[in-house]
Amino acid sequence: MPIEVIQTDITTLDVDAIVNAANESLLGGGGVDGAIHRAAGPGLLAECRSLPEVRPGVRCPTGEARATGGHRLPVRVVIHTVGPVWRGGASGEPALLASCYRRSLRLALEQRVASMAFPAISCGIYGYPPESAVPVAVREVRDWLAQHEAPMRVVFACFGETMARLYRAELGG
């Protein structure tokens, strides 16, 4: 089974790449973004700052992804993606969230990543209900792995038992 659920702090995982649930500036924040920047050290922020802005203050529009090095993290690559802010579900949130997973997987393939871990993108500060986000995450990863026949190990890194249970139920069902 190339898809696993692990209840852990994503910054401790021994994989080739971890995905960061970032904001459009890519200059850090709270939640998993803050944890990743703290663990990676100031080199990550410097590398993020050097990425081109697509418009003032925006280095990565919502639904897209950008790659950097891992700096002091045990990973080679950090893939920064920006999930949608939940506004009730009728503002394109599911399509934007799906795009985060697809774009991150595509970047990982380009970077020759063989194992990667996702946090529950948008499910914290951005307020996406986990019950709605988890099926999107699982569907996109499954479809992408099936379409690419990529030998990729994908981990859903969950910060808590409730989230881990949701992923396990979705994967088992």
Residue 114's nearest CA partner among 2, 1, 10 is 2
Q: What is the spatial distance between Cα 133 and Cα 28, in angstroms, rounded to a whole number?
A: 22
Instruction: Supply 144's token pair.
Output: 């992408």
Assess contact for 140 and 152: CB atoms under 8 A. Answer: no
DSSP 26: -
Q: Contacting ligand AR6 (CB under 6 A), which of 78, 97, 157, 166?
A: 157
Q: Catalytic: 16?
A: no
Q: Across the chain, where does the E strand assignment appear? A: 3-7, 17-21, 65-69, 77-81, 115-118, 153-158
Region of 27-35, 47-55, 63-71, 88-96 interacting with ligand AR6 (CB under 6 A): 27-35
Q: Please return the burial class of 42, using the count of CB atoms within 10 Å of its CB with bins 0-12, 13-18 and 19+.
A: exposed
> Does residue number 154 form part of the binding site for ligand AR6 (CB under 6 A)?
no
> Does residue number 101 form part of the binding site for ligand AR6 (CB under 6 A)?
no
> Does residue number 94 form part of the binding site for ligand AR6 (CB under 6 A)?
no
> Does residue number 120 form part of the binding site for ligand AR6 (CB under 6 A)?
yes
Question: Which is closer to ligand AR6, CB of 56 or CB of 151?
Answer: 56
Q: Contacting ligand AR6 (CB under 6 A), which of 6, 7, 29, 143?
A: 29
Distance set, CA 100 to CA 8, 71, 94, 109, 123 (Å): 21, 23, 10, 14, 13
If binding means CB under 6 A, how many residues of this protein chain bind ligand AR6? 24
Question: Which is closer to ligand AR6, CB of 13 or CB of 152?
Answer: 13
Question: Which is closer to ligand AR6, CB of 11 or CB of 115?
Answer: 11
Closest distance to ligand AR6 from the beta carbon of 59 (Å): 12
> Does residue number 45 form part of the binding site for ligand AR6 (CB under 6 A)?
no
Q: Which residues bind ligand AR6 (CB under 6 A)?
A: 9-11, 21-23, 29-33, 35, 83, 119-126, 157, 159, 163
